[in-house]
Amino acid sequence: MIRRTLWITALGEFARLQNLLLIVMSFSVLFVSKAHPQTVDEIFQNFKTAYEKSNNFSANFEETTLFANKKSVARGRFIFGRPNLLRKEYVDRTDASKIVQLTVLDGEYGWTYTPILNQVNKMKWNNPERRELLPGIGASLEDVQKNYNMALIPDEFANPKGVHQIELAPKPHMISTNAKETLQIWVKSDEWLPVQFGYRTEFEDGTRQSVIVTLTQIERDKELAPDLFKFVVPKDAEVIDLSEN
């Protein structure tokens, strides 16, 4: 029961980051003109169009989590492909060639493999609540304006470097009784690619958690191996199957 609870909690955290990856890829060509500042509504229209123009998105990442005055840092690489395909590798702190955890979304199932435990967690992924566009946030892109307040956040240090921060704050009907979550995306205007994203969560007891993911070696629409998003269960690995729940 403990393992199952931990897996469900971890999946929830992963789903939020997966949602952000979908948003990030879509925002990669938002700022199409430097001539005049765009409104949030104009940016949102470009946002809807941008997703349709990208087939995949990849980057190295550094993921920093702050919670209860504690800080943890994890590093790795990911490749996201449409629709709802993901390969995310967390690597060892001292040896980047060593994978310490692998997550694969193959469009039907979500797989997470931890080599040190030789253990695989499996969960159903293609259900009505997880559609291609913004799963877990809204039924479609059309719902974002109804559910979130969107804003460009001025930053005296980032803006001169051509980096723009977009914030998505949930409207009152989206706030649960125990948590409020705000999404953030930073986009660099030279090639219109995201350089950072994250989320802040405020819990009912007043505690806060923030996750910031900084991206490097960013690429879009590169040629991918045909089996990149296929997961093969390693020999003798224990499989915890939650796909029927």
Angle at 212 between CA 206 and CA 216, to 5 degrees: 180
pLDDT of residue 64: 95
pLDDT of residue 34: 45
pLDDT of amino acid 46: 61
CA angle 168, 171, 176 (to 5 degrees): 105
Q: To 5 degrees, how large is the angle CA 8–CA 88–CA 97? A: 125
Give the pLDDT confidence score for residue 170 in this predicted structure: 83
Domains of the chain: 2-241 (2.50.20.10)
4 and 91 Cβ atoms separated by less than 8 Å = no
Along the chain (245 residues), what's the average pLDDT of each consecutive run of 10 residues?
49 57 50 53 63 81 91 93 86 94 91 96 70 37 74 84 82 77 79 79 86 90 91 94 80
Strand ranges (E), 125-206: 148-153, 163-170, 179-188, 193-203
For residue 168, which of 11, 54, 24, 12 has the smallest C-alpha distance? Answer: 24
Closest CA to 176 of 207, 148, 142, 204: 204
Cis omega before residue 160 (within 30°)?
no
**pLDDT, position 32:** 40
